[in-house]
């Protein structure tokens, strides 16, 4: 059951990712990316990492992508804007080639083995993995955690400075 679900969600994720690149309408692309995020979240659930799954949806799908969509809608980007860089055929060819490579890698035994190696037993052994994540974040990985937050803070300040410069 778990195996089938993995292939289902994984397949949806990969297909949506490809669609995201191929779609000419920016809103459609953004939505495909949302589907990728949601199916990733479902993969996390399969791994027993429910907390990560929820956070994935709330942060990436719920906040960041909504902002993306917001900007796309606000600017009312037309489909032509995107196809300026590469010609349409070249663009499709490149993206197809890239996806093919990705699929090869995925299908390659190594990837599968690696996925199997970290199979459920390791993570889902802990019943409330919210607690496990929290403990790791605030003990073993405290320094990277704090560094990340300082980085984000710097980004916020930078954004404020840029946005404040109007006149």
Partner 1 sequence: MSLLAIGIALAKAVIVFVCLLLCVAYSTWLERKVLGHMQVRCGPLRVGWYGLLQPIADGIKLFFKEDIVVSGANKFLYILSPMIVMIAACASIAVVPFGDYIDVFGQKIYLRVADVDIGVLYIFALSSLSVYGITLAGWSSNSKYALLGGLRASAQMISYELATGLSIIGVLMHAGSLRPTDIVAGQDIWYIVKQPIGFLIFVICAFAECNRSPFDLPEAENELVPGFHVEYSSMKFALFFMAEYAHMIVVSALAATLFLGGWRGPVLPGIVWFMLKVFAMMFFFIWIRATYPRFRYDQLMKFGWKVLFPVALLNIVVTGIGMVIWG
Would you tell me which residues interact with partner 1 (CB under 8 A)? 27, 31, 34, 38, 41, 50-51, 53-55, 57-58, 61-63, 66-67, 69-70, 73-74, 127-130
To partner 1, the closest distance from the beta carbon of 76 in angstroms equals 9
**How deeply is 162 buried, as exposed, middle or buried, from its count of CB atoms within 10 A (0-12, 13-18, 19+)?**
exposed
49: closest CA among 141, 148, 118, 104?
118
Determine contact, residues 82/41, Cβ cutoff 8 Å. Answer: no
CB nearer to partner 1: pick between 58 and 152: 58
CB nearer to partner 1: pick between 115 and 130: 130
26: closest CA among 76, 87, 96?
76
Residues 6+ away with beta carbon under 8 Å from 126: 132
To partner 1, the closest distance from the beta carbon of 66 in angstroms equals 5
Determine contact, residues 130/51, Cβ cutoff 8 Å. Answer: yes
CB nearer to partner 1: pick between 20 and 53: 53
To partner 1, the closest distance from the beta carbon of 142 in angstroms equals 17
Characterise 48 by phi-psi region: left (phi > 0), alpha (psi -120 to 50), beta (else). Answer: left
CB nearer to partner 1: pick between 128 and 158: 128
CB nearer to partner 1: pick between 67 and 161: 67
Determine contact, residues 119/43, Cβ cutoff 8 Å. Answer: no
To partner 1, the closest distance from the beta carbon of 133 in angstroms equals 11
To partner 1, the closest distance from the beta carbon of 33 in angstroms equals 12
């Amino acid at each position: 059951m778990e195996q089938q679900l993995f292939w289902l969600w994984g397949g949806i994720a990969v297909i949506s990712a490809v669609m995201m690149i191929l779609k000419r309408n920016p809103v459609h692309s953004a939505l495909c990316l949302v589907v990728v995020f949601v199916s990733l979240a479902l993969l996390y659930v399969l791994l027993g990492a429910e907390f990560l799954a929820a956070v994935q949806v709330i942060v990436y799908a719920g906040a960041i992508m909504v902002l993306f969509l917001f900007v796309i809608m606000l600017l009312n980007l037309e489909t032509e804007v995107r196809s300026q860089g590469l010609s349409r055929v070249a663009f499709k060819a490149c993206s197809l080639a890239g996806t093919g490579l990705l699929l090869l890698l995925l299908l390659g035994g190594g990837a599968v083995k690696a996925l199997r190696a970290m199979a459920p037993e390791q993570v889902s052994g802990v019943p409330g993995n919210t607690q496990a994540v929290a403990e790791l974040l605030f003990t073993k990985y405290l320094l990277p955690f704090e560094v990340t937050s300082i980085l984000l803070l710097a980004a916020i300040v930078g954004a404020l400075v840029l946005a404040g410069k109007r006149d």
